[in-house]
Amino acid sequence: MMKLDTTHAFLKEDVKSYQEVVNKYHEQLMKRTGKGNDFVGWVEWPHTYDKEEFDRMKKVAQKIREKCDVCIVCGIGGSYLGARAAIEMINGLYADKKPEIIFMGNTFSSTYIAQVLNYIKDKEVCVNVISKSGTTTETALAFRLLKQFMEDKYGKDGARERIVATTDKARGTLKAIADKEGYETFVIPDDIGGRFSVITPVGLFPIAVAGIDIDAIMTGLQKAYEDMADPDLAKNDAYAYAVCRRILENQGKNVEMLVSYESQMTMVAEWWKQLFGESEGKEEKGNLPTSANFSTDLHSLGQFIQEGKKVLYETLLLVEKPTLDITFPSDPDNADGMNYLAGKSVDWVNKMAAKGTLEAHEVTGNVPNLIITMPDMSAESFGYMCYFFFRACAMTCYMLDINPFNQPGVEVYKKNMFRLLGKN
Ligand SMILES: O=P(O)(O)OC[C@H]1O[C@H](O)[C@H](O)[C@@H](O)[C@@H]1O
């Protein structure tokens, strides 16, 4: 379902020359013998997921959908980005769908938090609070405010029926609160880290509340699992992509820019940035993951990409078939001079923009381009894409001899913040 094209990437090494290295790390990943092997539960998850919990998720999601105008999803990092990426990519940005999904718990911005609370004041509200550790400060701060808001609005019993907690099966303050209050809970498996957790209730529950078919996401995951069973670089495009990243780094490219031509995929890029940034950015190694949305950002970043310092390569994440398309109309006056496009589809215009940009960046800009193509922006394709990037991420990190599954560096700011906040 996803295809990699390396013909515009100026690779100076043969991808296939890495086959032995890839075989070794593939085996380590599959046999759970590589670095961080206590966090590789996602590898077999397409088949090992808890089917009972999955069905319960669908039922609870349906109840929540009937109950509310707005569902607040409260979480940060891996407990936020995947669900938002999926919902925006699959439903689009202005889908006429109820309930509206609003994200909280991902910032200390007082204005943002206050505005959301004000916005939902007179609406029917449900809440899904998500935290694997159960102790993340942004999420805990927002959730206390939300809990009080819900209890004031609906009373303790009413709030209980409208709050769902997704957290560790035993640890953390969120688990303790959920047990004490009697909230419906879903479990984040011990061996799946935050940035790999969109395929668990962390992502799937809010995605289901948004009216998306989560069975189709699992189908996509399973298809990707099958397609990636063989580490052969001629067939396994996730691993080939992992290798290309290392080859480009060897050529002095330390910045990867994930580029999409679909506005509704902006959050997919944010999700991808956490996946690669937190997995790879350690021991002073790794490529900086950045992103752009074209053609929008061609009018801002385009100049730098074309003529600025040659630090980056682009990874185009292209979609073959748009969710919707429009035929451009003719105008008898043609005052805007746009009649040359009359009768053409807007998606065709987008694709021509992509083609012209590729040529500009490649031929005169000397910027390597990797091209990954996906068929559409469906739920199934989302599932496939997640798994594709998970495998690529694990492989590309193992190739740097780092543990892809921890994030020790994130704790440093927290320590300082807690000292300043006077936390014991
Ligand atoms: O789900 P939580 O435990 O609340 O964690 C949310 C996020 O916060 C952390 O600081 C980590 O760096 C992320 O990897 C994680 O996804």
pLDDT tens column, 252-276 = 999 999 999 999 999 999 999 999 9
pLDDT in tens, 341-367: 999 999 999 999 999 999 999 999 999
Whole-model pTM: value is: 0.97
- Distance in Å, CA 193 to ligand 1 centroid: 9
194 has pLDDT over 90: yes
The single residue listed with the structure tokens 């999904």 is: 101
β-strand pairing of 70-74 with 125-131? parallel
Residues identified as active-site = 278, 414
Decide: helix, strand or coil at residue 203. Answer: helix
Give the pLDDT confidence score for residue 96 in this predicted structure: 81
Ligand 1 midpoint to CA 189 (Å): 14
Rg (the chain; Cα; Å):
22
Question: Could you tell me how many helices (H) and strands (E) the chain has, helices first?
Answer: 15, 10
Domains of the chain: 3-34+219-398 (3.40.50.10490), 45-212 (3.40.50.10490)
* For residue 247, pLDDT beyond 90: yes
- Closest protein CA for atom 9 of ligand 1: 77
97: pLDDT strictly greater than 90: no
> In this predicted model, what pLDDT tens digit does every residue of 171-185 receive, in sequence order?
999 999 999 999 999
Please report which confidence band the pLDDT of residue 424 belongs to, taking 50, 70 and 90 as the band edges.
confident
Does ligand 1 come within 6 angstroms of the Cβ of 278? yes
Q: Cα of 194 to ligand 1 centre, how many Å?
A: 6
Q: Distance (Å, rounded) from C-alpha 301 to C-alpha 75?
A: 30
Which atom of ligand 1 sits closest to the CA of residue 172? 3
The model's confidence at residue 23, banded by pLDDT at 50, 70 and 90, is very high
